[in-house]
Copies of this chain bind each other. A is one copy, B any other.
């Protein structure tokens, strides 16, 4: 780096060397997510987190349209479509036309999907527990509260 470049940064009170990637929220967020993904894959190998999220949300709210389901689990239309396609291929969900709106596609759990989800719920709780294991219960509660504030903006 040139001398003039250094001076400029020093005047701003920050040196380029002060930027440490490993301490940036985005970077650590990505690593935390990676660790969670690995735990999820180890315990629920046979379904991905987005697929599980779709089933769990359908279990909560019952039949909805494809896009609506996407909004509920924060996936855009293009993404939810792929997820639903794969769940449908495995007969965990079924699609039906909407009675009054021919644009809409209603999605719902099949019996098989409901049974699968119910059997996975205990393991899903274990995934959450193991992910939070590095924290004390008190820390975990604080963390979740702050994380939610961050996620919701």
Task: Report whether over half of chain A's contact residues are helix, strand or loop; otherwise say mixed.
Answer: helix
Chain B residue with the shortest CB-CB distance to A14: B125
Q: Assembly of this chain: how many copies?
A: 2
Q: Which residues of B contact A144 (CB under 8 A)?
A: 23, 25, 28
Chain B residue with the shortest CB-CB distance to A15: B121
Interface contact B21-A56, CB-CB below 8 Å: yes
Q: Which residues of B contact A23 (CB under 8 A)?
A: 144
With beta carbons under 8 angstroms apart, the residue of B5, B59, B74, B135 that contacts A30 is B74
Determine whether A131 belongs to the interface, using a CB cutoff of 8 Å to chain B: yes
Interface contact A36-B25, CB-CB below 8 Å: yes
Residues of A in contact with B (beta carbons under 8 Å apart): 1, 5, 14, 16-17, 19-21, 23-36, 40, 49, 53, 56-57, 59-60, 73-74, 118, 121, 124-125, 127-128, 131-132, 134-135, 139, 142-144, 146-153
